[in-house]
């Protein structure tokens, strides 16, 4: 029940953060907004840990792995995703980001030696096909300077960074790093890398004047970062990266519903087809082989079942005649 609750929390919060990110874009530089978000979140987690009497001490080697977690999960991942949403809607971004499920499974095989069944490769093929369908109009009409495909590349890059970060998180949990304090330090390291990136990029550390910016920042800091990441990291430890990543299949559902309600997201045949293919590909990866066979049998045409029944009747009749 605890894992189910954490799973639900992760899906609902991260499914809604795609829309909240839209209110962060424009007035303040992306990397600066992320410095605010993860800096505040890291401080909250570390202060809470200290007040709760939890140790914040780690060895130098542990800090190096926590810093790597911060770079991948709290810096590179989010810089690319925030930038991508300048060119794509929150719904499209969340759908493409669901490829993280497949990346996590492949990386789990590479880094932890877990065998990958054939159905996973098949599901990956369908999922990638769904992304191609989703962006087919842009592919056909592509011209130099078109930003949509650049947005797609950013999302895929962000997903890959997140997947590597997940592997680091699993490695840290396997070595008994405490999740809450590790998350807090990881956010602070991520903030440091973001700060350096902002300085290098010449970004101005300005403050937004719009109320929507600060409301969305508060939501992304407390819910989208502190609560959601803690829930996700606990799930990574409890049930592994493959099963935890299945929650990613549901993110686009929440994101598309919210985008339709608040962003006037328009559905097309390509959107529907691509969305269904991505979801179907992830479903193949998600379900055990036995359940997939059972579903296929259930959905098989009745005519085939009847013809099979008729063959059985004929065979029984012939046996009676011979006897």
Tell me the pLDDT tens digit for each residue of 107-156. 988 998 877 778 877 877 787 788 778 777 766 765 655 688 888 899 99
Task: For Cα atoms 258, 75, 157, give the angle at the middle one, nearest 5 degrees.
Answer: 70
Name which of 85, 19, 31 is nearest 202 in CA terms.
31
Of the listed ranges 6-20, 71-85, 155-169, 272-286, the least confidently predicted one is 272-286
In this prediction, residues 41-52 reach a mean pLDDT of: 94
pLDDT of amino acid 118: 81
Q: Which of 158-167, 180-189, 307-316 has the lowest mean pLDDT?
A: 307-316
Distance CA 224, CA 40 (A): 12
- Mean pLDDT of the residues in the chain: 82
The residue that leads in pLDDT, 250 or 145, is 250
Q: Is 185 helix (H, G, I), strand (E, B) or coil?
A: helix
Q: In whole angstroms, what is the distance from residue 120 CA to residue 109 CA?
A: 11
Per-residue pLDDT averaged across 230-254, rounded? 76
Check the CA dihedral 160-75-215-223 and report its sign. positive
DSSP type of residue 96: H
Angle made by CA atoms 200, 159, 231, in degrees to the nearest 5: 100
Nearest CA among 173, 228, 196 for reference residue 62: 173
Which two three-digit tokens encode residue 192?
């440091």
Task: Give the H or E element holding residue 247.
Answer: none
The answer, yes or no, to whether residue 244 has pLDDT greater than 80, is no
Per-residue confidence at 272, pLDDT binned at 50, 70, 90? confident
Decide if 70 contacts 189 (C-beta within 8 A).
yes
Close Cβ partners of 57 (under 8 Å, ≥ 6 residues apart): none
Residue found by looking up tokens 């609560």 in the block: 227
pLDDT for 286: 67
Angle at 287 between CA 283 and CA 292, to 5 degrees: 95
> Please, is 307 exposed, middle or buried when counting C-beta atoms within 10 Å of its C-beta (0-12, 13-18, 19+)?
exposed
Please determine, for residue 196, whether its predicted confidence score (pLDDT) is greater than 90: yes
Q: For 184-200, what is the mean pLDDT?
A: 95
* Residue 209: pLDDT over 70: yes
pLDDT at 323 over 60: no
* pLDDT at residue 210 is higher than 60: yes
109-118, 134-143, 211-220, 225-234: least confident range? 134-143
Please report, for the chain, the start and end positions of each structural domain, with discontinuous segments joined by +.
2-287
Q: Confidence class of residue 61 from pLDDT cuts 50, 70 and 90?
A: very high
What are 236's two structure tokens? 């990574």
Global pTM? 0.75
Cα–Cα–Cα angle for 201, 203, 207, nearest 5°? 160
Mean pLDDT across 20-44: 91
Residue 146's pLDDT is 64
Return the pLDDT at 288.
73
């Amino acid at each position: 029940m605890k894992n189910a609750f954490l799973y639900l929390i992760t899906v609902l919060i991260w499914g809604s953060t795609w829309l909240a990110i839209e209110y962060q874009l424009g007035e303040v530089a992306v990397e600066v907004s992320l410095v605010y978000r993860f800096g505040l979140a890291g401080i909250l987690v570390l202060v809470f840990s200290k007040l709760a009497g939890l140790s914040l001490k780690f060895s130098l080697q542990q800090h190096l792995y926590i810093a790597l977690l911060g770079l991948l999960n709290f810096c590179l991942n989010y810089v690319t995703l925030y930038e991508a949403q300048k060119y794509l809607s929150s719904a499209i971004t969340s759908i493409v980001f669901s490829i993280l499920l497949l990346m996590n499974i492949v990386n789990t095989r590479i880094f932890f030696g877990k065998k990958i069944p054939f159905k996973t490769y098949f599901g990956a093929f369908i999922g990638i096909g769904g992304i191609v369908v989703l962006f087919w109009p842009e592919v056909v009409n592509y011209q130099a300077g078109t930003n949509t495909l650049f947005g797609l590349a950013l999302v895929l890059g962000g997903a890959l960074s997140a997947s590597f970060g997940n592997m680091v998180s699993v490695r840290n949990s396997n070595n008994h790093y405490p999740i809450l304090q590790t998350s807090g330090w990881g956010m602070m390291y991520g903030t440091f890398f973001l700060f350096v990136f902002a300085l290098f990029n010449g970004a101005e550390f300005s403050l937004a004047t719009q109320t929507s910016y600060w409301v969305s920042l508060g939501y992304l800091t407390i819910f989208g970062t502190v609560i959601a990441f803690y829930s996700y990291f606990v799930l990574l430890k409890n049930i592994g990266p493959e099963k935890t990543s299945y929650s990613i299949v549901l993110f686009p559902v929440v994101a598309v519903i919210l985008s339709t309600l608040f962003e006037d997201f328009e559905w097309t045949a390509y959107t529907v087809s691509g969305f269904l293919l991505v979801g179907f590909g992830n479903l193949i990866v998600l379900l055990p082989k036995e359940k997939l066979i059972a579903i296929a049998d259930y959905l098989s045409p009745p005519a085939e079942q009847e013809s099979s029944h008729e063959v059985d009747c004929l065979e029984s009749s012939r046996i009676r005649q011979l006897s």
